[in-house]
Amino acid sequence: MATPTETPPPPTPIFLRLSYPAPRVLLVRMDRPKDLNAMSTTGQWEMDSVWKWFDQEPRLSVAIITGTGRAFSAGADLKEWNNSMSDDSDPKNRMGNSPAFKPLSRRLGKKPVIAAVNGLAMGGGCEFIVNCDLVVAAEDAYFGLPEVKRGLAAIGGALPRLIRSIGLQRASEFALTGRKITAQEMHEWGLVNKVVPKDQVVDEAVKYAEMIAQNSPDAIICTRAGLRQGWETASVERAVEWTLEKEFAELQRGENILEGLQAFSEKREPQWKASKL
């Protein structure tokens, strides 16, 4: 289903394919299957521009990220990384130090992103899912942070977030051993919402996205901000205050709160306006 947008999406000629499977829903597909959807520097810049556009596009409320082929993503392109280590360029420009490096694993953003994990999610690909708002995984998907086996470290944002999500001991087991974790184990640990057959993983993610997208676009942004503040900050009460001062204050000045309350009083479905938050 085509979804009109107010502004055209950024070009994605190398790594990504964009589509609109339901109203207000964006599907981002990593499409480099021969390389297990590993991210080159060019691919990372595409990701960076797509997420920035998604957050600013008022006619979209939720996104899904998935991969083509047997992998979700194997993470950074280690061949390119190795080549960048052997040249004489400024270390600040090497893969891993680029401003676009890990554009989803360190993304704060305004709107929710659902991971539809169709296959292996390793390294940076696994760091993506740690920072996604919901995760649907195929039964045969598996996850890992094998950086320690390659002389690297998972510096894309996953390490502190894993502590908050699954605790020190499980996070340590995950990151220090570098072992593969099954989808079912990730579900038991609380990092995966639902495990489904491989051919249903995107459809199940779309179902979640549709449930989210039918709600007020302003309320989605405000609610996610409250959740994220609680996850990213130490003080629960301060997280509430920040959300009240910013997103909730903007929500109360918008049209959608009035529409939602009036629709409830009139016993009808609300007709939401594009968010201005």
| Catalytic-residue membership of 188 | no
d(CA 142, CA 121): 6
| pLDDT recorded at residue 235 | 84
Q: Which of 46, 57, 147, 247 is catalytic?
A: 147
User: What does the pLDDT average to over 234-263?
Assistant: 91
More confident position, 19 or 39: 19
Contact 114, 63 (CB under 8 A): yes
d(CA 114, CA 109): 13
* 150 Cβ contact partners less than 8 Å away, ≥ 6 residues apart: 78
| pLDDT recorded at residue 141 | 97
pLDDT tops 90 at residue 121? yes
More confident position, 41 or 62: 62
| Catalytic-residue membership of 247 | no
| pLDDT recorded at residue 29 | 98
| Catalytic-residue membership of 76 | yes
Alpha-carbon Rg for the chain in angstroms: 19
The secondary structure element, H or E, covering residue 136 is: strand 134-138
Q: Which of 76, 141, 154, 225 is catalytic?
A: 76
pLDDT tops 50 at residue 155? yes
| Catalytic-residue membership of 266 | no
**Residue 246 DSSP label:** I
Q: Which of 57, 127, 204, 247 is catalytic?
A: 127
Percent of the chain with pLDDT over 70: 89
| pLDDT recorded at residue 83 | 53
Helix, strand, or coil here: 167? coil
Q: Which long-range contacts (CB under 8 A, 24 or more apart) does 103-107 make?
A: 103/44, 103/47, 103/48, 103/51, 104/47, 104/51, 104/65, 104/128, 104/131, 104/132, 105/130, 105/131, 105/156, 105/157, 105/158, 106/131, 106/156, 106/157, 107/51, 107/131
d(CA 5, CA 229): 29
Under the banding of pLDDT at 50, 70 and 90, the label for residue 1 is very low
Percent of the chain with pLDDT over 90: 75
d(CA 18, CA 56): 16
| pLDDT recorded at residue 91 | 52
Mean residue pLDDT across the chain: 90
pTM score, whole prediction: 0.90
* 92 Cβ contact partners less than 8 Å away, ≥ 6 residues apart: none
pLDDT per residue over 169-219, tens digit each? 999 999 999 999 999 999 999 999 999 999 999 999 999 999 999 999 999
Residue 230 burial (CB < 10 Å; 0-12/13-18/19+)? middle
The one-letter amino acid at 262: Q
